[in-house]
Amino acid sequence: MTTSVLDQLHLSSDHLRAANASVTQPNYDRTRLQTGIVHLGLGAFHRAHQALYTEKVISEGDLRWGILGVSLRDPRVPDVLTAQDNLYSVTERHGDEARTRVVASLRGALFAPRDLARVIAAIADPSVSIVSSTVTEKGYSQNPASADLDMDDADVRHDIAHPEAPRTTLGVLAAGIRLRPDSSPLTLVCCDNMAGNGDTLRKLLVQYAGQFDPKLARRIETEIGCPNSMVDRIVPAATPASLDWAAARLGLRDEAAIVCEPFTQWVIEDRFASPRPAWEDAGALLTSDVRPYQAMKLRLLNGTHSALAYAGQLCGMETVADAMADPLVGAFARRLMLEDLRATVAAPSGYDVTSYCHDLLKRFENPTLQHRTQQIAMDGTQKIPVRWLPALRESLAAGVERPLLERALASWLHYLATGRSDSGAALVISDPGAEALASLLRQTGNDVDAAHAALAHGPVFGAQPWPHAFVERLALHLSTLRQGGMKTLLAP
Ligand code: CS2
261 with 354, same domain: the answer is no
The CA-based diameter of the chain, rounded to the nearest angstrom, is: 67
Kindly report the CATH number assigned to the domain that includes residue 157.
3.40.50.720
Q: Considering 287, 310, 341, which residue would you say is the last residue of a domain? A: 287
313 with 428, same domain: the answer is yes
Spatial distance between the Cα atoms of 102 and 451, rounded to a whole number of angstroms: 50
- The pLDDT, as a whole number, for residue 118 is 98
Q: Is the CB of 233 under 6 A from ligand 1?
A: yes
Spatial distance between the Cα atoms of 335 and 407, rounded to a whole number of angstroms: 12
What separation in Å is there between the alpha carbon of 48 and the centre of ligand 1? 13
pLDDT single digits (tens) 468-484: 999 999 999 999 999 99
Q: Is the CB of 373 under 6 A from ligand 1?
A: no
Beta bridge partners of 319: 372
What separation in Å is there between the alpha carbon of 12 and the centre of ligand 1? 33
Residue 66 has pLDDT above 80, yes or no: yes
Spatial distance between the Cα atoms of 388 and 76, rounded to a whole number of angstroms: 33
pLDDT single digits (tens) 24-37: 999 999 999 999 99
Spatial distance between the Cα atoms of 6 and 362, rounded to a whole number of angstroms: 33
What separation in Å is there between the alpha carbon of 382 and the centre of ligand 1? 13
Residue 464 has pLDDT above 80, yes or no: yes
Q: Is the CB of 302 under 6 A from ligand 1?
A: yes
Position 452 in a domain:
yes
Task: Return the closest-CA partner of residue 102 out of 242, 229, 207, 250.
Answer: 250
244 with 367, same domain: the answer is no
225 with 324, same domain: the answer is no
254 with 398, same domain: the answer is no
Position 117 in a domain:
yes
- Among protein residues, the one with the nearest Cα to ligand 1's atom 5 is 376
Q: Is the CB of 298 under 6 A from ligand 1?
A: no
DSSP state at residue 267: E
* DSSP helix/strand/coil, 4: coil
DSSP state at residue 150: -
Position 184 in a domain:
yes
Residue 16 has pLDDT above 90, yes or no: no
Region 157-178: mean pLDDT is 98
Spatial distance between the Cα atoms of 7 and 139, rounded to a whole number of angstroms: 36
Position 74 in a domain:
yes
- Among protein residues, the one with the nearest Cα to ligand 1's atom 9 is 234
Spatial distance between the Cα atoms of 409 and 306, rounded to a whole number of angstroms: 10
276 with 331, same domain: the answer is no
Please check whether residue 16 is in contact with residue 250, taking contact to mean a CB–CB distance below 8 angstroms.
yes
* DSSP helix/strand/coil, 109: strand
Say how many domains are in the chain.
2
- The pLDDT, as a whole number, for residue 95 is 86
Spatial distance between the Cα atoms of 250 and 297, rounded to a whole number of angstroms: 33
- The pLDDT, as a whole number, for residue 3 is 46
Residue 20 has pLDDT above 50, yes or no: no
Kindly report the CATH number assigned to the domain that includes residue 467.
1.10.1040.10
Spatial distance between the Cα atoms of 428 and 421, rounded to a whole number of angstroms: 10
What is the average pLDDT value for the chain, to the nearest integer? 94
Helix, strand, coil share (%) of the chain residues, nearest 5: 50, 15, 35
- Among protein residues, the one with the nearest Cα to ligand 1's atom 1 is 376
366 with 258, same domain: the answer is no
Task: Return the closest-CA partner of residue 174 out of 135, 137, 140.
Answer: 140
Strand (E) or helix (H) holding 295:
helix 291-296
349 with 416, same domain: the answer is yes
Q: Is the CB of 178 under 6 A from ligand 1?
A: no
Reported confidence tier of residue 10, pLDDT bands at 50, 70, 90: very low
Residue 38 domain boundaries:
13-287
Q: Is the CB of 363 under 6 A from ligand 1?
A: no
Please check whether residue 149 is in contact with residue 156, taking contact to mean a CB–CB distance below 8 angstroms.
yes
pLDDT single digits (tens) 89-109: 999 999 889 999 999 999 999
Reported confidence tier of residue 8, pLDDT bands at 50, 70, 90: low
* C-alpha triplet 360, 363, 366: angle, nearest 5°: 155
Q: In a mutational test of the pocket of ligand 1, which residue from 197, 337, 361, 376 has the highest number of ligand atoms less than 8 Å from its CB?
A: 376
Reported confidence tier of residue 150, pLDDT bands at 50, 70, 90: very high
Please give the C-alpha separations between residue 474 and each of 108, 455, 488, in angstroms, as whole numbers: 49, 10, 15
407 with 281, same domain: the answer is no
Position 2 in a domain:
no
What separation in Å is there between the alpha carbon of 473 and the centre of ligand 1? 29
pLDDT single digits (tens) 350-400: 899 999 999 999 999 999 999 999 999 999 999 999 999 999 999 999 999
Position 4 in a domain:
no
Position 468 in a domain:
yes
Reported confidence tier of residue 6, pLDDT bands at 50, 70, 90: low
pTM of the model: 0.95
Burial 382-406 (b: 16+ CB within 10 A, else e): bbbbbbbbbbbeebbeeeeebebbb
Q: Considering 255, 287, 319, which residue would you say is the last residue of a domain? A: 287
Q: Is the CB of 232 under 6 A from ligand 1?
A: yes
Q: Considering 236, 263, 287, which residue would you say is the last residue of a domain? A: 287
Position 46 in a domain:
yes
394 with 266, same domain: the answer is no
- Among protein residues, the one with the nearest Cα to ligand 1's atom 3 is 376
Please give the C-alpha separations between residue 144 and each of 101, 140, 186, 398, in angstroms, as whole numbers: 37, 10, 27, 23
E strands present in 134-253: 187-190, 229-232
Reported confidence tier of residue 18, pLDDT bands at 50, 70, 90: very low
276 with 329, same domain: the answer is no
Residue 145 has pLDDT above 90, yes or no: no
59 with 25, same domain: the answer is yes
